Structure 1
Amino acid sequence: MKVLVFGAGQLAQMMYLAAAPLGVEVYAVDVVAREVINPVDKSKFDMSIEYAVSDVHVITAEFEHVPEDLLDMAEKSGKLHPNMAAILTGADRVREKYVLDTNNIQNCPHLIVSDVSDLDAAVQALGEKIIFKASRDGYDGYGQWRLINSEELPKLKHAFASLDLKRVPLVAEKMLSFDREISIIGARDAKGNVCCFDIAENLHHEGQLHVSVAPATAVSAAVQKQAEQIFETLANALNYIGVLAVELFQSGDELLVNEIAPRVHNSGHWTQKGADTCQFEQHIRAVLGFPLGDTASKGVTAMINIIGCTSFSRDLISIPGCHLHWYGKEVREKRKMGHINVVADSYRELGEKLLLLLQYLPEEYFVLLRGEAQRLIAIEA
């Protein structure tokens, strides 16, 4: 069987590696060059996108910002999973907010800003502390602006005046205090079966995910159930097929959806070594109609992103339960170059392994790792 992935980055690469043992071939589309390539070695195939669409069994995507003409071609083939509407929802915060609100799913209080003149009303409705997010093309902290007090509003008005807010509106969200950021990742198949992984706890620095720990610490049964209900409501509302990620803010036992990602997700990379079936295999299973796999966690796992850095020792894989996943990219500031998964039997053991891991890493690139290691050790002290 054959799967075509729109996008040719590390997520397509990891789908390829997870699909191969199932006897599934994965092709990728470089959507900029408009070429069909091997997602691992990046070699070009002598075939057009149109031919690939006709030849494969299923078409999917590794990111939301696929040109709409390609999505439309795939949708018309009847092979696109998840569907075009779901992918576009993940690509556009205005669409996303509409889906959340119409399905009564709690999220941050917000207003849509399509003109600079809307800013005063947004401050009046939401208060002085607001985060403004571009409705499209924003990720890893890009396309975001913060208002801390009303004195900064004239400066923001000046900045927004140069933007085409009619074409790309802003979502103004009230800044809320919350205990932590978590995510739930799961899959839904064509029959409506849903299967979720354990909640992951996510630590961000400068708008980028640096560390995920799963299962998240101190998750009550009520919070796990609430997260799964949110996931299932969204997946059913979108008539979703494949793996879906839902990022959440937790405050006490209350969960608010931050955003969704209609694809395999960075905060699910821990599943490669920390779950019975990883998110990449699960996505292939779901879109091809194979039985969904067991999502049970195996011990506790930390995923550590390698960001803008190549100067580390690969001897880190000498640590038991430590696995390196390298993407083969050219180094660039704030670019995700790879990740490390560390699996242990307990949070304390995981924390101890993370401290050991720091012996092989330049700590200035892994600024949250020591503190997280110490927190995990203290849990079971």
Structure 2
Amino acid sequence: MIPPGGTIGIMGGGQLGRMLAIAAANLGYRTHIFAPGMSGPATEVAARWTQSAYDDAAAVAAFAAQVDVVTYEFENVDVASLPAHNCVFPPARALEVAQDRLTEKTFVEQLGGRPAPFRKVDSIEDLRAALGDLGSPAILKTRRFGYDGKGQERIEDPSRAASAWLSIGQKPCVLEGLVRFESEFSIILCRGMNGEIVRWDAVENRHRHGILDVSIAPASGLATDQAAEAGALAEHIADALDYVGVLACEFFATAEGPVFNEMAPRVHNSGHWTIEGAVTSQFENHIRAICGLPLGSTDLTGARVEMRNLLGSDVEQWPAILADRANHLHLYGKSGQRPDRKMGHVTKVFV
């Protein structure tokens, strides 16, 4: 167990790191950010900051020597860049699985889960064969480094295979068959060092242009009926990886049951509502888990909670947002608005 006063190292300087650092401070911990950027949301609230490339082995080693535990706020950190440190959570194996879509889907299948139908694609010939197997429309996704709709091409017709392959950069991919679903939902859990698992209510997620727009807890409709099965699979994944920390698994609610979409080995955008909407937020429970502390209650603080992302110029609505006294506004302090850039979020708890 790491007692209060210890230092938590966070690889990544974005808004997830910021909210982790705030949760850590509330529990009496200091945070040390390691990130390559000039500055970021997390660096503004941390006690220390190392600015260096993730592949700078000497800098990573020096950073690790100054902290008691290391975590990360996004899954695109190269596993080889993780410090040779006894306390890196979630474990490197979880990162290896989550950052390669083919590895991830195969791993979940082996555990008895059901991902969307998929095929490995390493060439245009593979892509044409995969379209022959799965049909179209289908989604071509890079195996690595895709998020918020990036690294994806929808193929409406097999005649578009060549252009899609070129557009995605002719990189190793998976082709996914389309899934007919009623809604998308996520299961967010936290697993402690002793194997204890706590789970928040299933969350319904609605997207805009491939980016999360609104999360609603608890989920409704088919997602409610399928939450137990999806939650059991998420727990099985966590146990199989000897996981420590918050894990998010996304699903499609379909007539045939929950279909696994993807996992994120970290705190997740669809869990931001937990800051005000749950007794213990995903950020606090993640800190508790990686420090070896008992996990907190995940009960809702109201009957329903809604979280909406503020993208780009949405952030300019902040005076109107605050005019509703029930709203909880979180701004990340980012400059440079882009239509798809997450600038903050707003949460409302309904009693």
Q: Which residue in the other structure is 1:146 paired with?
A: 154
SS in structure 1 of the partner of residue 239 of structure 2: helix
User: Following the alignment from structure 1 to structure 2, what is the Cα–Cα distance between the partners of residues 239 and 276?
Assistant: 25
Aligned-pair CA distance for 1:177 = 0.9
Aligned-pair CA distance for 1:235 = 0.3
Verify: 1:308 aligned to 2:312, yes or no.
yes
User: Following the alignment from structure 1 to structure 2, what is the Cα–Cα distance between the partners of residues 90 and 295?
Assistant: 24
Q: Which residue in the other structure is 2:54 paired with?
A: none
May I ask how many residue pairs the two structures share in their alignment?
336
The counterpart of 1:278, out of the listed 281, 305, 308, is 281
User: Following the alignment from structure 2 to structure 1, what is the Cα–Cα distance between the partners of residues 67 and 124?
Assistant: 46
1:312-334 alpha-carbon deviations (Å, 9 max, x no partner): 14242232321100000012231
Distance 1:328 1:7, change over 3 A: same
Aligned-pair CA distance for 1:231 = 1.0
Conservation of the 8 A alpha-carbon contact between 2:23 and 2:284: yes
Conservation of the 8 A alpha-carbon contact between 2:34 and 2:49: no
Distance 1:5 1:313, change over 3 A: closer
Conservation of the 8 A alpha-carbon contact between 2:124 and 2:162: no
Relative to its length, the structure with more helix (as a share) is 1
User: Following the alignment from structure 2 to structure 1, what is the Cα–Cα distance between the partners of residues 270 and 177?
Assistant: 24
1:105-158 alpha-carbon deviations (Å, 9 max, x no partner): 111010010111112210121112210111111111111011112232343355
User: Following the alignment from structure 1 to structure 2, what is the Cα–Cα distance between the partners of residues 156 and 284?
Assistant: 41
**Matches for 1:1-381 after TM superposition, within 5 Å:** 1-31=6-36, 39-41=43-45, 45=49, 48-71=59-82, 74=83, 76-159=84-167, 162-163=169-170, 165=171, 169-218=172-221, 222-252=225-255, 254-299=257-302, 300-309=304-313, 310-330=315-335, 331-345=337-351
Q: Which has the higher contact order (CA 8 A, sep 6+)?
A: 2
User: Following the alignment from structure 2 to structure 1, what is the Cα–Cα distance between the partners of residues 173 and 42?
Assistant: 37
Conservation of the 8 A alpha-carbon contact between 1:322 and 1:341: yes
Aligned-pair CA distance for 1:14 = 0.4
Aligned-pair CA distance for 1:54 = 1.5
SS in structure 1 of the partner of residue 266 of structure 2: coil
| Structure 2 gaps, min length 5 | 1-5, 52-58
Conservation of the 8 A alpha-carbon contact between 2:141 and 2:153: yes
TM, length-normalised to structure 1: 0.83
Conservation of the 8 A alpha-carbon contact between 2:43 and 2:49: no
Conservation of the 8 A alpha-carbon contact between 1:31 and 1:67: no
User: Following the alignment from structure 1 to structure 2, what is the Cα–Cα distance between the partners of residues 21 and 128?
Assistant: 50
| Structure 1 gaps, min length 5 | 346-381
Conservation of the 8 A alpha-carbon contact between 1:325 and 1:340: yes
Distance 1:46 1:189, change over 3 A: closer
